[in-house]
Amino acid sequence: MPTAKPALLALEDGSVYHGRAFGAAATIAGECVFNTSMTGYQEIVTDPSYFGQIVTLTAPMIGNYGVNEEDTEAAAPRASGLVVRELSPIVSNWRATTSLDAYLSKYGIPGISDIDTRALTKKLRVDGAMKCCLTTLPLTEAEAIARAKGWHDMAGSDYVKDTTCTEPYFWKLDDASRYNTPYVPPGTTLGLPHIPAKRFTVAAFDFGAKYSIFRKLVNHGFDVKVFPATATAEEVMEHAPDGVFLSNGPGDPAALGYIHKTVSGLVPHFPIFGICLGHQMITHALGGTTFKLKFGHRGGNQPVKNLETGKVSITAQNHGFATDPASLERGGAVVTEINLNDNTVEGLRHKALPVFSVQYHPEAAPGPNDADPLFSDFYRLIEQRKAGKI
């Protein structure tokens, strides 16, 4: 095995971490964040919500099961860079088609290994997410620190325009059914979603959506027409969907005034379900506000309590901004769920309209399936609206 080349990670506060390079030979600046998931690195690096971010994985060994063609959440990696403690030199999984090293190299994404990711994560928890520079090319510490400081801040950034689709399209049923089929023991139906006989059409906004979201919608009884983030309320209404879905995505939710306007125009007319950035778009459309978290929630182990039922779910999350709960009341909404780690808002619903949202990722890619019933809740909401019950 050839000797790995040196790599360097520099933070805006002047901290520098030396390690070994993998992935592409490149220099990139971005926001340094951490993810606490134990598995699912392929889904993480291909999640468009990580656009502009360099992701530190807290699991100690990464890459042991390689990369395959079926578990990607976008056509290519969307994270800017990857930081790991140890990169496995061996790929051992029957589904693997390549290594993580080769995969990132193919798409120009740099990575650094053999650094103390525990120390880095503790720094980000104490001091907050920071601007950083990751380089696998010859670069001095001073040059890397300067590049980190010179990167624009995540606050105020519109990254949705870099990750959304450009034209409306239909998500095909076979695109959804090929992937993420749960293992079911012989003779049981454990884990299989209930697929209703009647299907509803949903207009799904792509703000940087993961593929698994559309797969879940299809598997829960929806025909999905995907719209770019720039689509207007009038363009959506021309297609007369039964409901509207608002996806996850990257960047600062306060910087997306054109989406706030669109969602405001749709709220009175359709049942709406939003997740992650979609949740924040509903917040702003109802007149609420959002704020930047110190280090965000990123991982597959975030506990969320439903204030209306008392149920606690373990959820998959990836966000750096949150809804101000005090701002929801004036828009006619109430907080339905909170994060048990810091009591931030994790869900809302409108008091009079069939509109609800969650801050987390219920499609569980990667992560637990506790929140899967939310897709069925959305189906029933549309069913009730069509029956004139709400």
Which positions are annotated as active-site residues?
A: 276, 361, 363
DSSP β-ladder status, 27-35 and 53-57: parallel
As a whole number of angstroms, the distance between CA 233 and CA 103 comes to 38
Q: Which residues contact 21 (CB under 8 A, 6 or more apart)?
A: 4, 5, 6, 7, 110, 111, 112, 136
